Amino acid sequence: MTAVFSTVNAQKNSVLGKWKSIDDATGKELGIVHIYEEGGKIYGKVIDILNPKDRDKTCNNCVGPDNKQPILGLVIIQGLIKDGEEYSGGKILDPQHGKYYKCYINLENENKLKVRGYIGISLFGRTQYWHRVK
């Protein structure tokens, strides 16, 4: 019983899990991203798109293997590594525009995740706040 409680408690204080992405400009709920660890790095995959009209959209502006792929199922956060209280050193995909940006994420609290995408230095970028899905 203690091991189960410890695992659940550790998950609450972790970036791992399912997060509802929120558009920083409109406040609109976009989708659910599953953040997971693989090979010691953090990744995030789109597992649900909340607007039924957007579910079949593809990444038309993406280059490489993601070009014309459905947004549902895309790995949009790639290769983040823990650095103190945040995870950084990887990239995030903006599937609307098909562009990758440098990225870092960190927990604001157990249910709120700060996601920052930027070009060059973090001063030039955008921040979204995602909410944990329970």
Digit-coded pLDDT (tens) for 31-53: 999 999 999 999 999 999 999 99
Encoded tokens for 114: 């700060």
7 pLDDT above the threshold of 50: no
Q: What string of DSSP letters covers the chain?
A: -HHHHHHHHHHHTSS-EEEEEE-TTT--EEEEEEEEEETTEEEEEEEEESSGGGTT-B-TT--GGGTT-BSTT-EEEEEEEEETTEEEEEEEEETTTTEEEEEEEEEEETTEEEEEEESSSTTSEEEEEEEE--
Domain ranges of the chain: 2-132
CA distance 46 to 111: 18
* Residue in the block written with tokens 């579910």: 55
The pLDDT assigned to 9 comes to: 44
pLDDT tens per residue across span 102-133:
999 999 999 999 999 999 877 789 999 999 99
The pTM of the full predicted model, rounded to 2 decimals, is: 0.88
Rounded mean pLDDT, 84-108: 95
CATH classification for the domain delimited by 2-132, as one of 3.40.50.150, 3.30.70.260, 2.40.128.520, 3.40.30.10:
2.40.128.520
Higher pLDDT among residues 1 and 13, named by residue: 13
**12 falls in which pLDDT band (50, 70, 90)?**
low
Is the pLDDT reported for residue 98 higher than 90?
yes
Diameter over CA atoms, the chain: 49
Show the tokens assigned to 4.
Answer: 């189960």
Residue 11 is predicted with a pLDDT of 55
